[in-house]
Chain A
Amino acid sequence: MDPYYLALTTITLASIYGLLAIGISIIWSSLGMINMAQGFTFAVSGYGAWLVAQNVSHSGVAVLAGGVLMGALAGAAIGAIAFIPLYDKPNFPLRSLIATLAISTLGGQCLLWLFGPRVKALPKIFGYGGFHIGTAVASREKVGSIICSAALLLVTLAWMKRSRRGLEIRAMMQNPEGAALVGVGLRSTAMAVMVVTGAMAGLAAVLLSQNYFVSPYSGTTPLIKGMVVALAGGLGSVSGALIAAVLVGLIEAVTAVSLGGQYVLITQFLFIIAVLLVRPRGIAGMIEHSRE
């Protein structure tokens, strides 16, 4: 096992899973909703990027923008359907879980109907070739993925730290009633959360589709992995999700190299079971206070 190769693969996977997991985590803690439709957002963003590549331009920026925009749109749509009409009704967590699951299934069928069952391939937006790092070759695609997701994550975290809207989201994550008492509109803030996390899922979709094909249900596996990372990190904790993303990425890389790709989900689930047995609230669940 080449340590450079392992490290590189780990960071690439961690950055992509991190984008999905942080989205799931922020939605859970600020909206109180488990977004089962995050996988649909992922798939539809892949198609958005593909449409741009087919009809507009093959350039990397255009394809990325297509995916991110489509993700943001899908996020807004899910918020408008599953959060706005339901959030002040009794049993909201269960209702929204079912609503987002329905959106995910229905959306997948719509994609199947619109685009057919044949998988689509996105253009290689970062080009071919690579650089030598130690004994491993870092392909442009891996380096590009890491840079893009790190950039979006840093911009989002800085925005959450510095802007009024970001403070409102952080307040809502901790105490929705307290947030309403400082003039935070729960509905508009929730929509902002859905748009931002949708954009993150969209970026993750384009980056992951450099290796995998776009298909109507291509979001299912990323959704499961995003959930695993979010749960292992402790729902509601951004730093926990980042730590868990690195660990899950490392496990995937080690498993794929030593046992074979088909065992990846098994080792990942063993990992989350082990984490939740030792720390029921996840890795950072005790460090940061969040919605329980």
Chain B
Amino acid sequence: MTDLLRIEDLSAGYGPLAVLHSVSMSVRRGERIGIVGLNGHGKSTLLRAIAGLTGWQSGSISLDGVEIGGKRSNGPGRYTHRIVRMGLALMPQGDALFHGLTVADHLDSGAFSPRAWRERKRRRERVLAVFPPLAKLLSQPVGKLSGGERRMVSLGRGLMDDSRLLLIDEPSLGLAPKISRALIDALMRIDLEDGAMVIAEQNLSLLQGKVTRLVGLHAGKLKGGAMTQDSALTPHTQHRHP
């Protein structure tokens, strides 16, 4: 079986700035991968490049064997909706929510395929089972929610369709430690079936022992364990992020 996601020689950035320098990694079905690294070392850019949201990129990204990166220069976001419809869900930093819309509208907006849209009521229930606090907030505009609640809306929105690859950028950002841990636990409970999950996180201790593999990202380069043939967490990454 092919890897769900395979990145080869990916460089990406914004304008004159190169953030990622020929990164290669792969993700197998059923894996939960943690990408750890300090702020500004390219974690978000890596996830955004997969969704086609960087200013420019070169190299190859294939999702389930289909090339979604390519060498073309693409204006940010031009191809994102097509990549998303192929089964990718990015829950970005800052959540990218629609502040005037209600929680229910947000969840519905994540149901983009005709089938998910028809079943949206049932799927909403499924998301509420993962994030129970949202049940009481369905008719609230998202602009009025707390940071933790917004994160749940952003994550829940990404779970409404049948996305195979879930990319989650800094789930703990700006949240109290207790709420962060609860969120990570909720993410670990999500049934991946034949999909996979990639979590970018600054706080290594939140992911340690919970994910399949940990990959370090430093100065735009991946450190160890990035390709699937390597084994799990290498000592190298552990030392870098105590």
A interface with B by C-beta (< 8 Å): 88-89, 164, 167-168, 170-171, 173-186, 288-290
Q: In the complex, given contacts A175-B96, A181-B84, what are 6 additional A-B residue pairs having Cβ atoms less than 8 angstroms apart?
A: A88-B77, A171-B109, A177-B92, A178-B95, A181-B80, A183-B85
Majority SS at the chain A contact face: helix
Q: Is B90 an interface residue (CB 8 A)?
A: yes
Verify B109–A176 contact, CB threshold 8 A.
Answer: no
Minimum Cβ distance to chain B for residue A85 (Å): 12
A183 to B86, CA, bound (A): 9
Chain A contacts for B89, CB-based, 8 A: 181
Q: Are B100 and A183 in contact (CB under 8 A)?
A: no
* Minimal beta-carbon separation of B157 from chain A (angstroms): 6
| Binary flags per residue of B90-116, CB closer than 8 Å to A gives 1, else 0 | 101001111111000100111011000
- B101-A182 in contact (CB<8A): no
Neighbour of B77 across the interface among A168, A180, A183, A288, CB < 8 A:
A180
A178 is contacted by which of B76, B78, B98, B141 (Cβ under 8 Å)? B98
B-side residues, CB < 8 A to A, are 51, 53, 75-78, 80-82, 84-85, 89-90, 92, 95-101, 105, 108-110, 112-113, 117, 141, 143, 157, 161
Complex contact B85–A289 (CB within 8 A)? no
The complex places the Cα of A184 from the Cα of B105 at a distance, in Å, of 14
Residues of B within 8 A of A185 (CB): 81-82
Are A180 and B105 neighbours in the complex by a CB distance under 8 Å? Answer: no
Residues of B within 8 Å of A177, CB to CB, are 53, 77, 80, 92, 96
Please pick, from A170, A180, A288, the residue contacting B84 in the complex, using a CB distance under 8 A: A180
Beta-carbon contact of A180 and B98 below 8 Å: no
Complex contact A175–B97 (CB within 8 A): yes
Q: Is the CB of A184 within 8 A of B81?
A: yes
> Nearest Cβ in chain B — how far from A123, in angstroms?
42
Given contacts A178-B98, A181-B90, contact A167 B109 (CB under 8 A): yes
How near does chain A come to B47, taking the closest CB pair, in angstroms? Answer: 11
Q: Are A186 and B81 in contact (CB under 8 A)?
A: yes
Whether the Cβ atoms of A176 and B77 lie closer than 8 Å is: yes
A179-B53 Cα distance, complex, nearest whole Å: 12
Chain A residue with the shortest CB-CB distance to B108:
A167
Q: Say yes or no: A182 contacts B97, CB within 8 Å.
A: no
| Between-chain CB contacts (< 8 Å), 19 pairs | A88-B77, A171-B98, A171-B109, A173-B98, A174-B97, A174-B101, A175-B98, A176-B77, A177-B77, A177-B92, A177-B96, A178-B95, A180-B81, A180-B84, A181-B89, A182-B112, A183-B113, A183-B161, A288-B100
B100 touches A181 (CB 8 A): no
Q: Do residues A186 and B109 form an inter-chain contact, with CB atoms below 8 A? A: no
CA distance A176 to B78 in the complex (A): 11
Contact A170 B99 (CB under 8 A): no
Given the complex, which residues of A lie within 8 Å of B77, measured CB to CB? 88, 176-177, 180, 186
Closest A-B pairs by Cβ, 6 of them: A88-B75, A183-B112, A178-B96, A174-B98, A289-B99, A180-B80
Residues of the A chain whose Cβ atoms lie less than 8 Å from the Cβ of B110: 182
A183 touches B101 (CB 8 A): no
| A182→B99 contact, CB < 8 A | no
